[in-house]
Amino acid sequence: MSSQKPVLSLKDIQKHFGAVTAIENFSLDIHPGEIVALVGDNGAGKSTLIKIISGVYAPSSGTITIEDETVSMASAEIARSHGIEVVYQDLALADQQSVYMNMFLGREITNRFGLLDRKTMIAETQKLVDELDVRIPSPHATIRDLSGGQRQGVAIARATRWAKKVILLDEPTAALGVAETAKVEEIVESLKARNIGVLIISHSLDQVFRLADRICVLRRGQQIGIRETAKTDKNEIIGMITGLQQQDAA
Ligand SMILES: Nc1ncnc2c1ncn2[C@@H]1O[C@H](COP(=O)(O)OP(=O)(O)OP(=O)(O)O)[C@@H](O)[C@H]1O
Residue boundaries of the structural domains of the chain: 8-91+165-242
Distance between Cα 128 and ligand 1 center (Å)? 34
Encoded amino acid at 223, one letter: Q
Distance between Cα 49 and ligand 1 center (Å)? 9
- Mean pLDDT across the stretch 17-37? 95
Distance between Cα 211 and ligand 1 center (Å)? 25
Q: At what angle do helices 118-132 and 148-162 cross, to 10 degrees?
A: 110
Q: Are 208 and 124 in contact (CB under 8 A)?
A: no
Which of 72-76, 170-174, 194-198 tops mean pLDDT?
194-198
Q: Whose CA is nearest to atom 1 of ligand 1?
A: 17
Quick check: helix, strand or coil at residue 3? Answer: coil
Q: Whose CA is nearest to atom 5 of ligand 1?
A: 17
E strand map for the chain: 8-17, 20-30, 35-39, 61-66, 69-71, 84-87, 166-170, 197-201, 214-219, 222-228
Residue 177 has pLDDT above 90, yes or no: no
What's the fold here for domain 8-91+165-242? Rossmann fold (3.40.50)
- In this prediction, residue 172 has a pLDDT band, given cuts at 50, 70 and 90, of confident
Quick check: helix, strand or coil at residue 123? Answer: helix
pLDDT digits (tens, 9 = 90+) for 35-47: 999 999 999 999 9
Quick check: helix, strand or coil at residue 98? Answer: strand
pLDDT of residue 246: 59
Q: Which atom of ligand 1 is nearest to the CA of 49?
A: 18
Q: Whose CA is nearest to atom 16 of ligand 1?
A: 45
The pick from 14, 16, 46, 88 for probing ligand 1's pocket by mutation, whose C-beta has the most ligand atoms within 8 angstroms, reads: 46
pLDDT digits (tens, 9 = 90+) for 112-168: 888 888 899 899 999 888 888 888 899 999 999 988 888 888 888 888 888 888 999
Judged on CB neighbours under 10 Å (0-12, 13-18, 19+), 69 is exposed
Distance between Cα 101 and ligand 1 center (Å)? 33
Round the average pLDDT of the chain to a whole number and report it. 89
Q: Whose CA is nearest to atom 24 of ligand 1?
A: 42
Backbone angles phi, psi at 133, to 5 degrees: 60, 40
pLDDT digits (tens, 9 = 90+) for 31-74: 999 999 999 999 999 999 999 999 999 999 999 998 888 888 77
- In this prediction, residue 75 has a pLDDT band, given cuts at 50, 70 and 90, of confident
Query: What pTM was estimated for this model as a whole?
Result: 0.90
